[in-house]
Amino acid sequence: MSPLPRYRSVKRVMPRPPKHWVGDGFHVFPVFADLAFKEEISPLLMFDYAAPKQFSSKVGKPRGVGQHPHRGFETVTLAFQGEVEHHDSTGKSGVIKEGDVQWMTAGRGILHQEYHSKKLTREGGTFEMCQLWVNLPKKHKMAKPGYQGIMNENIPVVNLPLGAEEDSESLGTARIIAGELGDNKGAAKTYSPVQMWDVNLPKEGSEVEFPFAANHNCIVFVRMGSVEVLGGEVEDLKASQLGPQDVALMSTDGSAMLKVRVMEPGTSIMILGGEPLNEPIAHRGPFVMNTQEQLRQAMVDFQNGKMGR
């Protein structure tokens, strides 16, 4: 019997679908492509990324997307540059500023709208953000709607590599939005184990390792720069190069470590994943449930004005 690989290898680099507009404020491409809403990426569902884009100043209604419903999952919105405002049917509202994260539990149903902040609308500027959808386990599909407004300063930041001496050279940092990295726990509370790390790797040529549970699905998204993912056995590592806005689904071969080599200075990646729910996924538009009947009920509830109360 051959030994298990020491490091996770790339199973698949996903195609890059064309960009599209969500409302008039979010010019995104679907990062997960044809794997969206598939078991291979569970508990994640979908990932829209809006690359840096310059918006002119504007008078009047902010750019964005109007009121719409959700049920059965959570949305996670990260603002990298610029600001996003939101308002929902519970009366909650706020601004997601640069570096902040909004973790919204739609649960049994919520109506909300998202748009450029008053500041970005008035002054114009560069806008960059992403939004992920995270599935809820079936026992929590009808949870009470709610928000976790996570400010940048409250997100734990870990120096890399893990376990290095305090006076050793830092190879970068990881913001732990959710999950655990080493002995460090993320800022978000989740209904199932989810990993969401925002990693900055400034030093070209450096190699960094990340522990990642062997039974968890794992995805690497390159936001800026480029990396090589080094997978396989220690004595025979295979390099898979990922460039800007590439996304790779990692193997589930029993390996519990991820290793990357930085190919450009100023590289930034996101490492995402979690424990698969192993439950049926029924999806239609803004609703994610377990059965078609539950989807039909969600639509009926929305049409009858029962959602968001």
Going along the chain from its start, the domains and CATH numbers come out as 17-153 (2.60.120.10)
What value does the mean pLDDT of the chain take? Answer: 95
Residue 185, CB-side half-sphere exposure with 13 Å CA sphere: 4
Check if the beta carbon of residue 82 is closer than 8 Å to that of residue 129. yes
The pLDDT value recorded for residue 117 is: 97
Least confident range from 4-8, 194-198, 272-276: namely: 4-8
Percent of the chain whose predicted confidence (pLDDT) is above 90: 89
Tens-place pLDDT, residues 113-157? 999 999 999 999 999 999 999 999 999 999 999 999 999 999 999
Is residue 158's pLDDT more than 60? yes
pLDDT band at 168 (very low <50, low <70, confident <90, very high): confident
Q: Which residues make beta-bridge pairs with 94?
A: 86
Q: What is the tens place of the pLDDT at every residue in 270-292?
A: 999 999 999 999 999 999 999 99
Q: Which residues are annotated as a binding site?
A: 68, 70, 112, 114
Q: How far apart are the first and last CA of the chain?
A: 58
The model's confidence at residue 253, banded by pLDDT at 50, 70 and 90, is confident
Closest CA to 174 of 211, 144, 217: 211
Q: How far is 37 from 70, CA to CA, in rounded Å?
A: 15
Q: How far is the C-alpha of 43 from the C-alpha of 136, rounded, in Å?
A: 8
Q: Which position has the higher pLDDT, 108 or 236? A: 108
Binding residue positions for Fe cation: 68, 70, 112, 114
Q: Decide if pLDDT at 14 tops 90.
A: yes
Peptide bond into 43 cis (omega under 30): yes
Given the structure tokens 């939005």, which residue do they identify? 177
Q: Tell me: pLDDT of 93 over 60.
A: yes
